[in-house]
Amino acid sequence: MSPNNANLAARLAKQIEASGSISVADFMQAANQAYYAKGDPLGVNGDFITAPEISQMFGELIGLWLTDIWMRAGCPEDCKYVELGPGRGTLAADAMRSMQQFNFAPEVLFVETSEALREMQAQAVANATFLDTVDDIPYDAPLLIVANEFFDALPVRQLVSTHSGWRERVVVRDRGTKFMATPGMTAMDEIVPSEFRNAPSPSIYETCPAASSIMYELAGRIAANGGAMLIADYGYTLPGIGSTLQAVRAHEYADPFENPGMHDLTAHVNFVELANLARMRDLRVSGPVEQGSWLKALGIDARTQALSASRPEQADELAAGRDRLVEATGMGSLFKILAISHAEWPDPEGFAVNQSLG
Ligand code: SAH
């Protein structure tokens, strides 16, 4: 255990000792902050791998999607590229390359909390401006916003049904040695939507207040000044019951409550909630569709062939990357793409109505 993680475990243990428990949301928030502060978790030798790290085609096609909607919107000059949680900066670098072919070189804003990852992102994309939170994004220009595997890292709140009603799910110390989740003391029935209130004990109802408030902020900016947002993540397209909290370390699942800060904690994204928040601001909602069908609609097969023709020695690698992004055996079905755009902006590409889920 690194000194930082030992400190975090001790700090959380002390907090629990003082107040009896902390919520799952507070635990997840503290654990992920420490985890991302440590540095680069991505890649084959890291804890997990993401679409832009699998193939350059992912970021390139997103760059083309952004260029296309920007051009059809009349090429607004002050449009900014915003990325939430850019990881190594790979997606942005690949997207910029394809955008620059069309002389589209917007100002780049990165919303990133980890200093260590900011350093990598600055290497990948020169001249990026770093922001601590979405609240710092200016309110005076159209925005093209990208979020790949960002929302899943935000802390979820969990409510659990017990024989005496719904309770906050909290983290305690099991016999003083081990972190463990358990129902808290305060009644929480009011917060659970009526359709789930009679779910049998123990059921878990999850919400992500952090995701909702970020979406609300961004939707407000797009409604005011135009623009579009693309969200790629794993998540659900119908509201449901059950814990989706998971921990991944070195590509293996782990106990989310053990060793806080040592592994990536994620939860499934509630696409229904994100879409509803955008609708409240009269924005257009496209999707969610499966990542595989979206990438195919954007021409990933033609791109694979073109790249393979110019670099035959990489043809196998390119085909394997394409398959992993597109096929159901890889990320193709599990990952979804949701787009949000200003109602007066053109219809975004890749979202044929009959493919929409949920
Ligand atoms: N988008 C990248 C990385 C995904 S990992 C990729 O696809 O490869 C999640 C990213 O979100 C990391 O860069 C992490 O530091 C960042 N992050 C997590 N919580 C955040 C928060 N609350 N605010 C800003 N960035 C956050």
* pLDDT by position in tens, the chain (length 358): 555 667 999 999 999 999 999 999 999 999 999 999 988 888 878 888 999 999 999 999 999 999 999 999 999 999 999 999 999 999 999 999 999 999 999 999 999 999 999 999 999 999 999 999 999 999 999 999 999 999 999 999 999 999 999 999 999 998 888 999 999 998 999 999 999 999 999 999 999 999 999 999 999 999 999 999 999 999 999 989 999 999 999 899 999 999 999 999 999 999 999 999 999 999 999 999 999 999 999 999 999 999 999 999 999 999 999 999 999 999 999 999 999 999 999 999 999 855 556 5
Residue 150 CB less than 6 A away from ligand 1: yes
CA of 353 to the centre of ligand 1 (A): 30
Return the pLDDT at 177: 86
CA of 17 to the centre of ligand 1 (A): 30
Residue 22 CB less than 6 A away from ligand 1: no
CA of 195 to the centre of ligand 1 (A): 33
Residue 335 CB less than 6 A away from ligand 1: no
CA of 114 to the centre of ligand 1 (A): 8
Q: What is the average pLDDT score of the chain? A: 95
Residue 356 CB less than 6 A away from ligand 1: no
The residue nearest atom 2 of ligand 1, judged by CA position, is 87
What secondary structure does DSSP assign to 329-358, as a single string?
Answer: TTTTTTEEEEEEE-TTSPPPTT--GGG---
CA distance 156 to 202: 18
What secondary structure does DSSP assign to 256-311, as a single string?
Answer: TTSSTTSSEEE--EEHHHHHHHHHHTT-EEEEEEEHHHHHHHTTHHHHHHHHHHH-
CA of 188 to the centre of ligand 1 (A): 30
Per-residue pLDDT tens digits for 273-322:
999 999 999 999 999 999 999 999 999 999 999 999 999 999 999 999 99
Return the pLDDT at 6: 72
